[in-house]
Amino acid sequence: MKTRFLGKDKLEVSAIELGCMGFTHSYPPYPDRKDAINTIRKAVGLGVTFFDTAEVYSYGQNEDLVGEALQPVRDKVVIATKFGYDLSETPDLTTSARPVSLSSRPETIRKAVEGSLRRLRTDHIDLYYQHRVDPNVPIETVAETVGELIKEGKVLHWGLSEAAPATVRRAHAVCPLIAVQSEYSLWYRKPEAELLPTLEELGIGFVPFSPLGKAMLTGRFNKDTKFDKTDFRSAIPRFQGENLKHNMELVEYVEALAKRKETTPARIALGWLLAQKPWIVPIPGTKRIERIEENIGGADIQFTTEELADIRRHLDSIEIIGGRYPEDQEKMTGL
């Protein structure tokens, strides 16, 4: 597996990260715990060294799973997790699925880091993201709090998720960021306008989630696909009705491109992201080892300058319709 470096501190990670959310959260059915642990450990055997989770994913269960799976190889991997919600509002963390509120108050962050350390079975978190910007807490206060955790050795590096460029600058000025995580893919390119130039200027790595468009870019769906109500995509406008049918134009283009290059649509999508900047590390999420094997192959896809220019021309000509989140969740991004 090829590696890349994030930030000025040059945190070395595998070129493809494994997003672990789907093992317990948002995309049922879920594998049993033993199978999930085996899959994560097989990913390590394939060369994946970078793993992403969050305290809010299944209210701690996801971190606990990742912690158990990676405990035997803890010194060989980089674990990223996230804070930013008040889990104390959820009385039964093992079964409750009700929403929780944003909270990045210093006391909430300190409580969160202790819980994450315990569940991850580790004495430090390699990369600690603020999951969503809390409009009620100045980002400078958040940066100062995480800076204290870094001095204490509980956190090694930190980052933001779905933050506006101006917020990135303010946070970075107080406690340098090593990475920012936001959505970016062939079917969502908004970060190109302002976020990517800001990160390049400041020397901050970029870790795009949903690089496969929540599986849209894998070619698994068609215009008539219906999602179960327990599937997160059932609430996303881009995956609904006429929007889905319209958006298949991009999928068909990616499939045709994959056929020409004798590879898979998923590898095209990941290879394209990696070709944008050397400090980009995508996080495809999956529960299946064969998908991990496929995704890893994305690091080997090469594009000529002419191919990249042609892809950009096609992307500019294809309109994607429908929001990427339900309206209430979209309001929590870009702050």
Span 233-258, pLDDT tens digits: 989 999 999 999 999 999 999 999 99
pLDDT of residue 92: 52
Cα 183 to Cα 164: distance, rounded to the nearest angstrom: 12
CA dihedral angle for residue 284, residue 176, residue 106, residue 25, rounded to 10 degrees: 0
Nearest C-alpha neighbor of 216 from the set 262, 260, 268, 180: 268
> pTM score, two decimals?
0.94
Amino acid at 82: K
Residues 6+ apart with CB under 8 A from 248: 221, 222, 223
> Which stretches of the chain drop beneath a pLDDT of 50?
93-96
pLDDT of residue 210: 96
Which residues form the catalytic set? 57
Provide the pLDDT for residue 96: 43
Q: What is the largest CA-CA distance in the chain?
A: 55
129: its two tokens: 């993201």
Q: Which 8-state DSSP code applies to residue 31?
A: P
Torsion angles phi and psi, residue 17, rounded to 5: -90, 160
Cα–Cα distance, 323 to 335 (Å, whole number): 17
Q: Which amino acid is at 57?
A: Y
Q: Distance from CA of residue 114 to its chain's centroid?
A: 22
Which stretches of 46-193 are DSSP H helices? 61-70, 106-120, 139-151, 165-174
Report all structural domains of the chain as residue ranges with CATH numbers, in order of start: 3-330 (3.20.20.100)
User: Hey, what amino acid is at 153?
Assistant: G
Q: How far apart are CA 106 and CA 108, in angstroms?
A: 5
